[in-house]
Structure 1
């Protein structure tokens, strides 16, 4: 990714697995706010998830890459995975602020996250580093949990996530 992008969206998550809702959030934010790029940031260890991810960080990163393949507006970053430990948004935004000093940063979150923002580490710094884009999730009913449950129940996950993600899950026998 070049350093000339002026408006960057940051979409963090566990992506366990990435699903159509994540992809639709990225596209909706890019369209509505004229974002040059949306960067998916796969969390190493989310601070609010008990028990960690079902799939490894490597697998979750590979699934995001498969999901966004061919879309020039979408990118993926492994900054939180490389950093290790608990993934805090403030640290990630500070990283992107330094890498892209001329860019305007936008943090893309689901409406379900708004109520908990006061509990985020260094929320005041987050607000200084980036503008929030809140996407209400009531217009789509898909979640990573639903996908994992359907796989365990041997039900189809077609159209819930990208075909490349489904192939990756099947090839690596994830969530069974």
Structure 2
């Protein structure tokens, strides 16, 4: 059976922390691929409106373009509305019955797993894979397979704030993503890549 990782999130913008998490899970579990799945509207967070769904998808595509086993999954963006993982997994399981799905979540999401929509039914549809994040307990009563990965205290919020302060993004996200952000003027970015 094909093993596929699903990495859902706002990816507003995607950064190296996302890529490291996905790569560590890919290697640890021997997955066929990891699909980055931007959500249309996250049930757990209010998202800055400065990047459209199309722009977030484009940034994901740019972030993963050089990695053959990373792909973009557009299902939640195409469906629209609030992106509940339970609804998504029901459809994906029906669409791809020969695939075993592994849903990748960070420590902060593990801590709040008990609040997820239809969590008791969801846990029957998908394998949860957890990666610790700084500042999270990463504890839950639900079955989550933990994968060791370098803990990087980096968030999309940090990057958006850095852009608004005209600071450097060197090593924080893929260069192609930074170029796109500056070209589109997202998050208050200027076209000056040096940040000066």
Per the normalisation by structure 1, the TM-score is 0.94
Aligned runs of 1:61-80 on 2, under 5 Å?
Answer: 61-80=57-76
Contact map agreement 1:46 1:52 (CA 8 A) in 2: no
Aligned runs of 1:159-174 on 2, under 5 Å?
Answer: 159-174=171-186
In structure 1, stretches of 5+ residues that fail to align are none
| Larger-Rg structure | 2
Aligned runs of 1:137-156 on 2, under 5 Å?
Answer: 137-138=133-134, 139-156=151-168
Q: Which is bigger in relative contact order (C-alpha 8 A, separation at least 6)?
A: 1
Contact map agreement 1:16 1:53 (CA 8 A) in 2: no
Distance 1:52 1:169, change over 3 A: closer
Once residues 145 and 51 of structure 1 are traced to their aligned partners in structure 2, the CA distance between those partners, rounded to angstroms, is: 10
Instruction: Tell me the alpha carbon deviations over residues 118-143 of structure 1, each in whole angstroms, 9 at most, x when there is no partner.
Output: 11111112111111110012310110
Pairs aligned (count): 172
Once residues 53 and 77 of structure 1 are traced to their aligned partners in structure 2, the CA distance between those partners, rounded to angstroms, is: 21
Instruction: Tell me the alpha carbon deviations over residues 92-116 of structure 1, each in whole angstroms, 9 at most, x when there is no partner.
Output: 2122212221111101000111121
The match for 1:24 among 20, 24, 40 is 20
Distance 1:158 1:131, change over 3 A: same
Shift of 1:78: 1.3
Once residues 95 and 122 of structure 2 are traced to their aligned partners in structure 1, the CA distance between those partners, rounded to angstroms, is: 16
Contact map agreement 1:14 1:53 (CA 8 A) in 2: no
